[in-house]
Amino acid sequence: MSGIDLTKVNWSQLNPEEFAKIERQMVEEKKRSRKLAKKNQPTGNIVVNLRGMKYELPVKLVNRLRNLKSDTSKSKLIDKIVEDYAPVRELTL
């Protein structure tokens, strides 16, 4: 947190208005950091190999697939991807 040094706050002498002010500043700082993190995430598409076929998928969907821990959930998402997205055709020269 760049705006508030919490170690210098005298918590025992803090009145409710000052506490509310510090809390608002902390919430605003958290919102700004979330926006920045979201802005810095990659966008676009990635080619992924699923069940022997290549699919061009949005980065957000690929990250969701990577972060799933349950094999059942992964399988359901892969089924949905195979159903909704067409495989990428490779060009041979």
- Which pTM does this prediction carry? 0.54
Per-residue pLDDT at 91 = 65
DSSP conformational letter for 85: S
Residue extents of the structural domains in the chain: 6-39, 45-84
For 1-93, where are the E strands, in sequence order?
45-50, 53-58
Residue numbers of the chain with a pLDDT score lower than 70: 1-3, 91-93
What's residue 1's pLDDT?
44
The pLDDT of residue 12: 84
Residue 77: what pLDDT? 92
